[in-house]
Structure 1
Amino acid sequence: MRAVIGRLHVLTDPRGGQLALDAVVAAVTAGAPVVQIRQKDCTDRALYDFAAAVTAICAGSGATCIVNDRVDVALAVGATGTHLGANDLPVAAVRRVAGPGHVIGGTARNPQQARDLVTAGADYIGVGPAYATTTKSGLPEPIGPAGVGAVAGAVDVPVIAISGVTAERVPELLAAGAWGVAVVSAVSGAADPAAATRRFLSQLGGAR
């Protein structure tokens, strides 16, 4: 497996303003290796300003900053990479724009999708929804640990499980073959984001 990405991805979004940035600081200070920025109902300028702030926070702690969907914003703020959904630019197109050093993640829910993304140049695969969640509406049915494992067994890049992931569910996802997990409210919305981060890292073996 080409391990190019950390095991815990903490998702945040510009709507949270200063509270979201405070949660990012707490998470990376506690050891979170990756922060993903999700674009949610905001202007390009608001996204840029937020992404620039998160990138600076990550740079100060050695964490990786990933911008979801928007390679233009990722490059503009000097983020490490871009995570692409099914309706975003193709992986190969983003690779041509961003170059070989840019980390690119793709989104899949079955082995064939994952293989196609890796062939196109994806460095890691986000897989889900692993479990049901209320954080995002309109998602398809959860694929569960077995579905995550099927994808993990089909590719030689890290597989990151997302959706409905709690610290208690991490062991079964790792056992299924996931490299790591991506979380939203479980850290960013926690009363104590640092403590929540440490719980996840403990279940992940303490690995950054």
Structure 2
Amino acid sequence: MAQLDYRLNPIVDAGALPGADLPALAREAALGGATLIQYRDKQASTRLMVERATAIRVALAGTGVPFVVNDRLDVALASGADGVHLGRDDMRPEEARRLCRPAAIIGLTVKNEADARAAAAAPIDYACVGGVFATLSKDNPDPPVGLEGLSRLVAIIRESRPDLPVGAIAGIELAQVPQVIAAGADGVAAISAIFETGDPRTAAQAFRATVDEALKGRGS
């Protein structure tokens, strides 16, 4: 599989966007420049999650933007998603890889140095460090790692996986994107900064342009 493009990963979070048309939001973000879309849902039944994930996959058809499901490999497989994003309490990446088709995308959350070392050794396509800043979109018992922590965790991963895309998540606003990229991230994940603006396509365009400019300035 070709290296994943992780520059912009909008997360369609059902809990943070109650009553929203999730497939429509996902498509707007994709058309605005997203390079990966993720569906996250901590409360819905499995059946409803499969229905929602399938609808998002259909909405993204023709955009060329891959789509992953947060936490739930079963939902990803049942809905025909391109892959899964795993947290520290989810199925191990090695187990997920055995169950997925060879080209499936597997992402992994990194919160500390132990996670970073595990990610570097895991059969994954990208890692995402978080939370970088404080956020209200998810209950997170771990304190934010900040820009310094982000830089340290990215460095640990790249000691053995220099080409693995590493993203950053949590509380990232447009104005903070250059700092996050300068700290070593290859891209950012966002929820409210894109989907609570009323115009996710325009918000995604602004994020993508800022990420691209920051990467250019870093020489990536």
Cα deviation for residue 18 of structure 1 reads 4.8
Q: Counterpart of 2:89 in 1: which secondary structure?
A: coil
Q: Deviations over 1:135-162 (max 9, x none)?
A: 1123311111111111111222111100
Structure-2 separation of matches of 1:95 and 1:106? 12
171-180 or 18-27, which deviates more: 18-27
Identify the residue that residue 203 of structure 1 maps to in structure 2.
Answer: 210
Q: Does 1:138 align with 2:140?
A: yes
Quick one: structure 1 residues 159 and 141, their matched pair in 2 at CA, closer, same or farther if it must change by over 3 Å?
same
Which residue of 2 is the match for residue 40 of structure 1? 42
Name segments (4+ residues, structure 1) moved above 4 Å: none
Q: Name which of 60, 68, 73 aligns with 2:75.
A: 73
* Alignment CA distance shift 1:50-1:134 (3 Å): same
Aligned pairs, how many?
Answer: 206
Does the aligned pair in 2 maintain the 1:14–1:46 contact within 8 Å? Answer: no
* Structure 1 segments unaligned to the other structure (5+ residues): none
- The 5-angstrom pairing of residues 115-126 of structure 1 reads 115-126=117-128
> In the alignment, which residue of structure 1 is the partner of 2:174?
167
Q: Give me the whole-angstrom Cα distance separating, in 2, the residues matched to 1:42 and 1:151.
A: 32
Give the corresponding residue for 1:29.
31
Which residue identity lines up with residue 12 of structure 1 in the other structure?
V
Structure 2 stretches lacking a partner, 5+ long: 216-220
Q: TM-score, normalised by structure 1?
A: 0.92
Percent identity between the two aligned chains: 35
Distance of 2:79 and 2:141 partners within structure 1: 30
- RMSD between superposed Cα atoms in Å: 1.8
Contact 2:111 2:129 in 1 (8 A): yes
Q: Which residue of 2 aligns with 1:4?
A: 4
TM value normalised by structure 2? 0.87
The answer (yes or no) to whether the contact 1:5–1:124 under 8 Å persists in 2 is no
Q: For structure 1, which segment, 51-60 or 174-183, has the greater mean C-alpha deviation from structure 2 after superposition?
A: 51-60
Q: Structure 2: how far apart are the matches of 1:22 and 1:139?
A: 32
